[in-house]
Structure 1
């Protein structure tokens, strides 16, 4: 039964009620119906991936700062995506148990944990050394053994492909060709692309010598650092 949080005496019950509310009131209404994605959102303890000062925000419909200063967190792209965005991204990537995944922007490690729960192997890159250490520690505490976090700048050359799936856990002005080149045949890339106030979730799938692209939903989020920023000016 869905009880108000203040009627639940046990703190663990309150956490589970908050997790349930997050899924039912935020995730499902955003057209997320994939049973495996919903099960992972229910099973993994998102609150354990949130910095202590923001732990009470773990289940809220908002981005969580991964920096002491929330304004700096946005400027530096150091945020956790909102739960509904994480879940919809996972669903629309059409993940397979055999997939080999590259994530750009590890943040707290929560997206890597969800990816690892649904696929065979995850490599997550994080440009900020402090966050790379935090994400790695969070994954280890959660018992995730098929994901690793590397302190690296994904805007530079990346080795280790091909990958079946590439996920950008932040926004870019355009999808870099260098990342597309790392996709295996039938590989999929998911990113948030564009400029404020309009960005689109963009999914690209390698097909033969080209790529098919869909842009099924809108969302605005912080930039990943050091990726190209072409001018918006047009004649």
Structure 2
């Protein structure tokens, strides 16, 4: 964290409108590089991570590429005939225990990484499992995204990722995407000497806004018990409790 950004963060934390030290944030870094290979995306993650931690938020960073994540929509693909091992339930457990999920990726051919796509597919496979209020399981959680690369695509990737998270139940705050792009084509990446990435005011500002807006929204949701369980419960709908709609199956 630069001296300027550190000073801004310290000043903002001193005047924070609420306490956030009971919140948890999970960064899923969908880099193609396995640990311990350098991930430039993790450099941008560190900006947000430092802001969260300065406010007492519990943080965790995971690289899904370090895990065995089979293709499929099952809860545990190792229980199928196609796969003998599936580490996804380990990641899903971390997701379930967090208040804020920041899905992070590099840009390849203008798209999010294949790892990021696999993560969203596996998350989608859990949407038929409901929470304790009878809503889809991710209601009440906050979602955001951080993106890096050496080619255009931040906004394109963000549109897809944030829509996907919203579609499965996440609440998306304002300014929920941020990132950094180097010169299009061969050139320095975010953490390379001389890239200008860590000093980039636009990236630092947007990532700061993202972190604070995630905390604000997660605070509001947690204090109010999440999204009200009214008009959004699949089992109630299936039972025929539909306001102003005829029930074609005549259920009671």
Q: TM-score, normalised by structure 2?
A: 0.32
Q: Larger Cα Rg: Structure 1 or Structure 2?
A: 2
Q: Which of structures 1 and 2 has the larger relative contact order (alpha carbons within 8 angstroms, sep 6+)?
A: 2
Structure with the bigger percentage of strand: 1
Q: TM-score, normalised by structure 1?
A: 0.34
